[in-house]
Chains A and B, each alone.
Chain A
Amino acid sequence: MIVKSRGRMALLGFVLAGALAFALSLAEDPARSWRVYLASDVYLLSLSLAAAAFLAVERLSKAAWSASIRRVPEAMVAFLPAGCLLLLLAGFGLDDLYAWANAETVAGDHHLARRTLFLNASLFYAQVVGYGVLWTWLARRVVREPGRRSARSSALFLVVLLFTFTLASVSWILSLDPEWSTPLFPWYLLSSVYAGGLGAIAGLVLLVLPDARIEHRHDLGKFLFAFSVFWGYLWYCQFMLTWYADFPEETSHYHLVLSPGWAPWFWITALLGLAFPFLLLPARAKRNRPLLLAVAAVVVAAHWLDVLLLVVPAAHGSEAGLGFADLVVGLGFAALFLLLFDLSLRRASMRAAGEAA
């Protein structure tokens, strides 16, 4: 319906190119390529979660307007199980990714040794499988159940998501840099992926539902604006409080991302994630279709960069900055996400049942 078969072949081509780029870079610098893999997979997985969370929030607030665009976030949930499976594959790179997975490193660091109670290989796999099953099951219920029963599932999903996402963000992302601790981290990541998720919802609605009502596009623009500003607020707060307190265990990450090789990427992320939506989407501009589409795409890219910056800089011994290969790997994941999105979209009518226009 939305993607012609040639488009599907192109997406498949992107997936293969991404896999090839990943395989090539794996031979060269495994620590770094596993991190790009992890960041891209966790980001797209989180976009699926954000879509499910959006549906749950809409259901719980009894919002009626979003009925006409429901199909898009519903189809975005399709990547969820695939994303968890791909994360399970990151188990092959556990040694390269996490200091806590390396017995020698742990033996020489008594701080790290204490943390292995939570940070260890079996618990990593258990979390990927457990959260994957739990999220997929609850998200399906949020998507499929009608009315009142769905409200109960939605509430359950949101509560479970907040607890499990907090644990997952610490064990999958924050633990990559064993020297860095920041109490705001789970919230920070959540705000980033939710803003990215709203960008993806707005962008995909504009692409696959060209006749969506202008008021609904306007509402999506408002969501995108609000959560971009929320992310910007947390981005600044985390940075400013870390700078002000100046504790070594909190500043290590900022020393890395503000080093010459990474600093441009750090500022570009803030520019794309906060300045662009803030300056380009004033009141009525949200009704301008090409403009909203462009800002949505920029926001999705900005939060991918944001997650990459949390993950990649701490890779030991690799060059600072991002390159073409990283982009190809990211696009490969995005293409897989779009393929599953398209597959899921063509299974149902584009309009939710009982929806007038």
Chain B
Amino acid sequence: MQPDTKTVVGVFPDPRSLVEAARAARERGHPPRDAYTPHPVHGLDEALGIRANRLPHAALILGATGLAVALLFQFWVVAIDWPARLGGKNERSILPLVPIAFELTVLFAAIGTVLVFFAQERLWPGRAPRHPSPRALDDGFVLVIDVPAGEVESVREFLAGSGAGEVRVEGGG
């Protein structure tokens, strides 16, 4: 962040005015850095101009890894390391391996994707919270915009004018 950059934080009372303000801010050349809300808000990522991220690719790779691990390990156990013909079934059949392969696919994809998300967002236990306003955990819909020092007043007025009940400027830099 540039030393002469300030952060303007606006707290809106409802999701609709937040989404409208985010869209308007982008149109007037002040794209918001982020928004913080108590619950998911429909259409917000579009209004903020957030493009699809690559998390699904991570999920796909992790799921495929889980599938491969489960199939290879089970096959090694029942067919290579300790082959046993049970109930007349061919020990090389993959039919009985499928349920565990399915479970491990889901397990790897689910837990792995959450871990990748934490790493991507630099989140870990004990990390100091970065909330611009605690009201985002309760009843506030918070929009955060980084602006050059000279434009702080205009952005502050814009946020107040578009329905923000509380507008704060933070030092930045």
Contacts and interface: CB of A to CB of B under 8 A. Distances in A.
A217 B92 CA distance: 43
B56 A236 contact: no
A240 B87 contact: no
B23 to A, nearest CB: 17
A236 B96 contact: no
Contacts of B87: 244, 246
A243 B95 contact: yes
B56 A240 contact: no
A1 interface: no
A215 B46 CA distance: 12
Contacts of B41: none
Nearest to A244: B96
A284 B102 CA distance: 23
Interface string B80-115: 000000011100000110110010000000000000
Nearest to A246: B87
Nearest to B43: A215
Interface residues of A, number: 10
Contacts, number: 17
A215 B42 CA distance: 10
Nearest to B102: A233
A243 B97 CA distance: 13
Contacts of A215: 42
Interface string B27-55: 00000000000000010000000001000
B89 A240 contact: no
Contact of B99 (A240, A243, A246, A283): A240
A237 B98 CA distance: 9
A143 to B, nearest CB: 27
Contact of A240 (B42, B88, B95): B95
Interface of B: 42, 52, 56, 87-89, 95-96, 98-99, 102
15 contacts: A215-B42, A233-B102, A236-B98, A237-B99, A240-B95, A240-B96, A243-B95, A244-B87, A244-B89, A244-B95, A244-B96, A246-B87, A246-B88, A283-B56, A284-B52
Listed from nearest, the 9 A-B pairs whose CB atoms lie closest are A240-B95, A283-B56, A243-B95, A244-B96, A236-B98, A240-B98, A246-B87, A240-B96, A244-B89
Interface of A: 215, 233, 236-237, 240, 243-244, 246, 283-284
Given A244-B89, A244-B96, 15 more contacts: A215-B42, A233-B102, A236-B98, A237-B99, A240-B95, A240-B96, A240-B98, A240-B99, A243-B95, A244-B87, A244-B95, A246-B87, A246-B88, A283-B56, A284-B52
